[in-house]
Amino acid sequence: MQFKAQRYNGKLKAPASKSHGQRLLILAALSTQHCSIQNLGSDNDTNAMSAAVQHIINKSNPKESISISVGESGFALRSLAFVAAAFFETYELTGKGTLLTRHQLATIQVLEQLGLDVSHQNGLLPIVVNGSITNTQLEIDAREGSQFVSGLFLLAATHPGHWQITIKELSSRPYFEMTLAAMREFGFQYERSNDVFSFVGNQKLSCGHVQVEGDWSSVAAHLVGAAIQGEIRVSGLNKESLQPDKNLLTALEQFGAACKWENSELHIKNSKDKTPFDFDCTQQPDLFPVLVVLACAANGKSSIKGIHRLKNKESDRLMVMCEALTSWGVYYQIKGEQIDIFGVGKVNSGTLRTYNDHRIVMAGCVASLLCAEGQEIDAVSAIEKSYPGFVADFQRLTQV
């Protein structure tokens, strides 16, 4: 599909956050009272979580085994791997698409620490879990990410026992803090000393009404596009959000874009100078593809750190974006955990291979701002995972 854009102009209501929505769906299932969720998204990951949760709570006999499909949602897999233990003695976790090729060893190791028996295919799906929890004193290596840590806490809060959980080397910390904030909204109580958590389980979580925030991850591509050329006003975002992708604003400000809040709307206006920037994407790896495009738009060397977090995503995002940089004719260097990109304010036209990764699709569309003939995207269906309306919004906002 061919994309060509000259500038951004218009208003956008941020789509619902799938990260926030998925957490609320689990907590609503664990709630002791009916919980109404407003502004729930319609993306594939949220739909997969909703269907899986409904399947779990509708299966009435805990003695029966159950097969739980999580679609392509990594968070649904790594959280429900634990939460399902609150409902069943034996359960199978299955998925599809790129999730089938992503290893889950960190999740499996924590399940085994709990005392559960886990069968798997060299760390790949399907995963079968059975048994009962015998250990509530845990030390967790969380350098692989925070999703399985969130799942552990969602289970532990409602499971009997005196829990002490020590977290080491926590990556994607802001997403775990999102989980804790959502749990507190449902009444979760705990004591904390740095990353050592103590609490009594079997807590009665409860909340009658919650609302899903707008998604900083989804609007990131539009914000970068407006910073490169044009302007945009976005409503529905939480200025105080714990979502880590909100940190994109620091890169946009370094780039020289005007970023300000007006009457709860975020207003982004393009940079005239297009200054290079430095950014650490360790805590927000989803930003990497579109940050590469921003670096191409800058005049000079931009540096992006934390690239070790990019391999076990929907694609190997470092490899894919390096392939794109080569196609675009933009010079880059990789030094350890950092990539330096030498932007010249434009890229070559060409065909971008997206490897069925929604973040690559969005980045490719924004890159069409930087070339006269536009960009050919090999497939756009991957956006259904997180932001089904992205192409329509992009085309509306970039119409000349």
- The reported pLDDT for the residue numbered 171 is 84
**Residue in this structure with the two tokens 């005196």, named with its chain if needed:** 162
Q: How far is CA 395 from the centre of its chain?
A: 24
DSSP 8-state symbol, 17: P
pLDDT digits (tens, 9 = 90+) for 173-219: 999 999 999 999 999 999 999 999 999 999 999 999 999 999 999 99
Hey, what are 178's tokens? 């999102």
- The reported pLDDT for the residue numbered 399 is 85
Q: What class, spelled out in words, does domain 18-198 have in CATH?
A: alpha beta
Q: What is the reported pTM?
A: 0.91
Indicate whether 73 pLDDT > 90: yes
Residue 191: phi and psi, rounded to 5, are -110, 145
Do 226 and 232 touch, CB atoms closer than 8 A? yes
Greatest Cα pair distance, the chain, in angstroms, is: 64
Hey, what are 335's tokens? 């030094």
What contacts 194, CB < 8 A, 6 or more positions away?
A: none
Where helices occur in the chain by DSSP H, the ranges are: 18-30, 44-58, 74-83, 105-113, 147-156, 173-185, 216-228, 248-255, 288-297, 317-328, 358-367, 390-397
- The reported pLDDT for the residue numbered 312 is 53
- Give the mean model confidence (pLDDT) for residues 235-259: 97
pLDDT digits (tens, 9 = 90+) for 309-342: 776 566 789 999 999 999 999 999 999 999 999 9
Res. 127 pLDDT band, cuts 50 70 90: very high
**Cα 315 from Cα 153, distance rounded (Å):** 28
Angle ∠(28,32,36) on CA atoms, nearest 5: 40
Q: Where are the domains of the chain?
A: 2-15+215-397, 18-198
Burial, 80: exposed, middle or buried (Cβ in 10 Å; 0-12, 13-18, 19+)? Answer: buried
| C-beta neighbour count of 309 within 10 angstroms | 22
Same fold, 2-15+215-397 and 18-198: yes
Hey, what are 379's tokens? 């497939």
pLDDT digits (tens, 9 = 90+) for 74-83: 999 999 999 9
Residue 319: phi and psi, rounded to 5, are -60, -45
Q: What is the CATH number of domain 2-15+215-397?
A: 3.65.10.10
Would you list the DSSP string of 257-282? -EEEEETTEEEEE--SS----EEE-T
